[in-house]
Structure 1
Amino acid sequence: MTQLKSTVDTGSDEFAANRDAMLGKLTEIEGEHAKAVAGGGEKYVTRHRDRGKLLARERVELLVDEDSPFLELSPLAGWGSDYKVGASMVTGIGVVEGVECVITASDPTVKGGSMNPWSVKKGFRAADIAAQNRLPSINLVESGGADLPTQKEIFIPGGRTFRDLTRSSAAKIPTVALVFGNSTAGGAYLPGMSDYVVMVKERAKVFLGGPPLVKMATGEESDDESLGGAEMHARTSGLADYLAVDEKDAIRLGRSIVKRLNWRKHGPAPELSYDEPMHDPEDLLGIVPPDLKTPFDPREVIARVVDGSDFDEFKPLYGNSLVTGWATVHGYPVGILANARGVLFSEESQKAAQFIQLANQTDTPLIFLHNTTGYMVGKDYEQGGIIKHGAMMINAVSNSTVPHISILMGASYGAGHYGMCGRAYDPRFLFAWPSAKSAVMGPQQLAGVLSIVARAAAQSRGQDYSEENDKAMRSMVENQIEAESLPMFLSGMLYDDGIIDPRDTRTVLGMSLSTIHNGPIKGADGFGVFRM
């Protein structure tokens, strides 16, 4: 039998404390997400509605198939910055006429939908997901273009937006623009470089330069409609392929375009019949301790995520601080690597490298469940080859070509973050639980290292070392690293694709795997040199 048993005591005080802590973190994150949903605030939302317009998320909701989920991406982009949480746009993956699409919607209630530096980064991430997973893109456009005060951070990198659109078209991955309002200056190239363009009558305005700029540049008198109105583009310039009578009609036309794409997935289909997990996903709230120094068994997580709680563990007696094995999630075969006791030793590194090679031999996507403090340090471990063995694991992760999905459950520190396929290693998706933390090392360890270095420097200079100053320095550093390790900070920096409720992990993985299988799934033909 490969069905995982559970030893979680849901009636224990420990479970209750863990659950309360997780629910508290979820409440805090929901509060921050509410700021993104609020857009520019009540004043600007009311003004937008008074103009008879739908909000960005309302447009998305009408676009996607009824009762189908929408996997929002990077909802906390810009958190902790001077810009609105969410970066004035909504991005995500939704099903339109049975086709998974990357959807990007400007939020015109935030500075007219103008793009700030975080908007640009968020848009790039959505474009990467579309390209890597072969997904059609639908842009719901109503934007004043670049946020001019920050043009120095936007203009040069921002050109990539149009490059991505044209490359997508060249790769036969369709792009659709539904223009609801302004799409001016550089923003005019967004519909200009899309395969299909729908414009809303008497609402859409698409021009390189508005009437004031045209007057200044050429002396010509013009108005919005004759210069860049929807009807002009539909009848005269030919930029608009479809003229919509209103916003809902534009969305109807957008859905019709996708319906006629004749879209087919290139990856293998999942098994049509599979069992739900034998253990309750609700239990995931109480499995991770608030103190990440306390280990937890990742098999308890796996048992509540994979089909039928059926997990075929690989090398269970070797390198047992890393759990590896085979399963299916929503009918898709996967390999899973999950940290069990935090530290990665040489045995775990070699085990991971072999397992990743096997997954590439059989074209099997990999899921990484993070809870690691990094690779083990110390004289015996260095002499035993921890560097070359850790490098072997990182080599395997780097050169693996099957799709990777990472879930940060707990700690993800140091090079362990790399070996477990952190953001720099291009997982197709990376999501975090509210309990996750990521940094070069833990706050206490980092502060302790700085203290040791400062103490040694003072000694070498023959100076006295102030214990009072040391205590203050350690406290300051610990607080800083703790703040910069939290999931909201990392999500705001776009180092993950979103913070998810642990109970939604199976659903998010299923949507991610389905998305991934729009493209072919093929393992690596070879790896780099493994230092043995």
Structure 2
Amino acid sequence: MTVLRSALDVNGAEYAANRRIALDRLAALEAEHATAVGGGGPRYVERHRGRGKLLVRERIELLLDPDSPFLELSPLAGWGSEYPVGAGLVTGIGVIEGVECMITGNDPTVRGGATNPWTLRKALRADEIALANRLPLVNLVESGGADLPSQKEIFIPGGALFRDLTRLSAAGIPTVAVVFGNSTAGGAYVPGMSDHVVMVRGRSKVFLGGPPLVKMATGEESDDESLGGAEMHARTSGLADYFAVDEPDALRQARRVVARLCWRKAGPPVSPAPVRPPRYDEDELLGIVPEDLKAPFDPREVIARVVDGSDFDEFKPLYGPSLVTGWARVHGHPVGVLANAQGVLFSPESQKAAQFIQLANQRDIPLVFLHNTTGYMVGRQYEQGGIIKHGAMMINAVANSRVPHLSVLLGASYGAGHYGMCGRAFEPRFLFAWPSAKAAVMGPQQLAGVLSLVARQSAAARGKPYDEDADAAVRAAVEQQIEAESLPLFLSGRLYDDGVIDPRDTRTVLGLCLSAVHGAEVRGVRGGFGVFRM
């Protein structure tokens, strides 16, 4: 076996300092997660409970198989915006009757479950994951519809939610709606376009127009139950396929619907060989990444604590050494790993990556990208050596690869290096970040310095003196802005990742994602990479 040997000094001062900083960041992250879990706050939580209703996470817990994992996605959506953290929606992957499903649930304690712009983006991301990985979609519905003051940002793009439901169904991917309360106006089409619908007696309200609107439009007098109640839809309209007496019964019936799907994954089965845990403690991942991301660290120390048995067959270890590539398994699933070593990508690293990605596609093996890059190398020597065409070769390979990609931002992820390592724009199946990660066009100091140089050159060209004090103030402001906008909470709030994770959970998260991606066929591209400039 090719077991990685760790050189990490867990008793050293550097390790201890890195660990302390990591724990502080995790504490801050946990506080933000607690805000999302708290929903609309104690007042609205108690009001909801007073109506005899379950909270959204309680509904999910009853829906899932006992003691099974739930990979929550985008929990910080909306962070830093005018909207609540979490966006009033819970999304994630969980196991129902042995079937991995995408689950979405409105949080009615947050403005009645109303949809704001971040709710919409989060829901669409969940649909995208369900479609790409052939995951049955279960919607736990209780929403008052669009948050009307922000309708201009919701109405036009919001139609994609209905498009996605019909496309999932057309692709043979089951959709289930469990309606616990309001599902009105456009929201009525969620159960209307789902394959299977469960409604709750005396609770579900599904209609295009409620009694006040009907009165205004037609003069007709009506009430909630006769217009859109669960019993009416079960007995008269036929919209309800299953009629539940209460919320637990609705969730029980939803579990039976999933059980009767007889669902099978399309991807290859996991290896029957026993899954061996890494030889090194996952807790040690907290002390690897330094606070100063300009200081290099060996990504093999991360790989050794993530892959099965710490067993890693490195590909081209002596060529392009600032990019580590090789083969391993994670929870029994074969993977190819690309991990930045010294931050900068040179021409050899780019060529090595392109070849490695082609090999993974030939063998139908998913790829895991571990980011810590400042981008592609600049300078006269490297430009003359072809860094543009070689970087383009790597980006071409990533863009046209068809095996599933999983990305984890460990440290820096700057410039075109973010693209070459399969950033969000290149549609990895999943992308997560550590609390230590940063992503931007370049580092704050470099960006501020570039702007300063341009301003100096402009002043010189106009023959005017340069204001050094103003320059210092502008540089400080730019550095502060870019630093804030490159942090994982900011990026996660805008759904540029699928969540900020505890480094110690990396192996578990990757294992859950690899299991999910095997719901769909895992097959690489055999040609069609486009033209590689040689």
4+ residue segments displaced more than 6 Å: none
Pairing 1:20-59 to 2, within 5 Å after superposition = 20-59=20-59
Q: Which amino acid aligns with 1:339?
A: N
Alpha-carbon RMSD across the aligned residues, in angstroms, is: 0.5
Structure 2 CA distance for aligned equivalents of residues 136 and 161 of structure 1 = 15
Deviation at 1:271, TM superposition (A): 1.4
Partner of 1:92: 92
Deviations 1:390-413 (Å, cap 9, x if unpaired)? 000000000000000000000000
Deviations 1:422-465 (Å, cap 9, x if unpaired)? 00000000000000000000000000000000000011111110
Partner of 1:246: 246
Partner of 2:68: 68
Partner of 2:140: 140
Matched, 1:313 2:314: yes
**Secondary structure class of the residue paired with 1:54:** coil
Structure 2 CA distance for aligned equivalents of residues 55 and 275 of structure 1 = 38
Structure 2 CA distance for aligned equivalents of residues 227 and 59 of structure 1 = 26
Deviations 1:63-104 (Å, cap 9, x if unpaired)? 111001100000000000000000010000000000000000
Structure 2 CA distance for aligned equivalents of residues 207 and 510 of structure 1 = 41
Deviations 1:216-267 (Å, cap 9, x if unpaired)? 0000000000000000000000000000000000000000000000100111
Partner of 1:424: 425
Q: Which amino acid aligns with 1:481?
A: I
Matched, 1:170 2:170: yes
Pairing 1:407-422 to 2, within 5 Å after superposition = 407-422=408-423
Matched, 1:184 2:184: yes
Deviations 1:97-119 (Å, cap 9, x if unpaired)? 00000000000001100000000
Structure 1 CA distance for aligned equivalents of residues 231 and 464 of structure 2 = 78
Q: Which amino acid aligns with 1:508?
A: V
Partner of 2:491: 490
Deviation at 1:525, TM superposition (A): 2.3
Structure 2 CA distance for aligned equivalents of residues 30 and 320 of structure 1 = 36
Aligned residues: 532
Partner of 2:121: 121
Q: Which amino acid aligns with 1:284?
A: L
Deviation at 1:345, TM superposition (A): 0.1
Deviations 1:457-478 (Å, cap 9, x if unpaired)? 0111111101100000000000
**Secondary structure class of the residue paired with 2:369:** strand
Matched, 1:457 2:458: yes
Partner of 1:397: 398
Q: Which amino acid aligns with 1:332?
A: H
Partner of 1:351: 352
Structure 2 CA distance for aligned equivalents of residues 9 and 167 of structure 1 = 52
Structure 1 unmatched runs, 5+:
none
Structure 2 CA distance for aligned equivalents of residues 291 and 62 of structure 1 = 44
Structure 2 unmatched runs, 5+:
none
Structure 2 CA distance for aligned equivalents of residues 9 and 151 of structure 1 = 55
Q: Which amino acid aligns with 1:148?
A: L
Partner of 1:471: 472
Matched, 1:529 2:528: no
TM-score, normalization: structure 2? 0.99
**Secondary structure class of the residue paired with 2:60:** helix
Deviation at 1:176, TM superposition (A): 0.1
Structure 2 CA distance for aligned equivalents of residues 287 and 150 of structure 1 = 43
Structure 1 CA distance for aligned equivalents of residues 228 and 275 of structure 2 = 53
Partner of 1:326: 327
Q: Which amino acid aligns with 1:443?
A: P
Structure 1 CA distance for aligned equivalents of residues 326 and 110 of structure 2 = 46
Partner of 1:502: 503
**Secondary structure class of the residue paired with 1:159:** helix
Partner of 1:302: 303
Partner of 2:361: 360
**Secondary structure class of the residue paired with 2:374:** strand
Identity of aligned residues (%): 75
Deviation at 1:416, TM superposition (A): 0.1
Partner of 1:481: 482
Structure 2 CA distance for aligned equivalents of residues 475 and 130 of structure 1 = 43
Structure 2 CA distance for aligned equivalents of residues 327 and 158 of structure 1 = 41
Structure 2 CA distance for aligned equivalents of residues 96 and 431 of structure 1 = 24
Structure 2 CA distance for aligned equivalents of residues 270 and 68 of structure 1 = 18
Q: Which amino acid aligns with 1:479?
A: Q
Moved more, 317-326 or 267-276: 267-276
**Secondary structure class of the residue paired with 2:154:** helix
Structure 1 CA distance for aligned equivalents of residues 25 and 85 of structure 2 = 18
Deviation at 1:213, TM superposition (A): 0.1
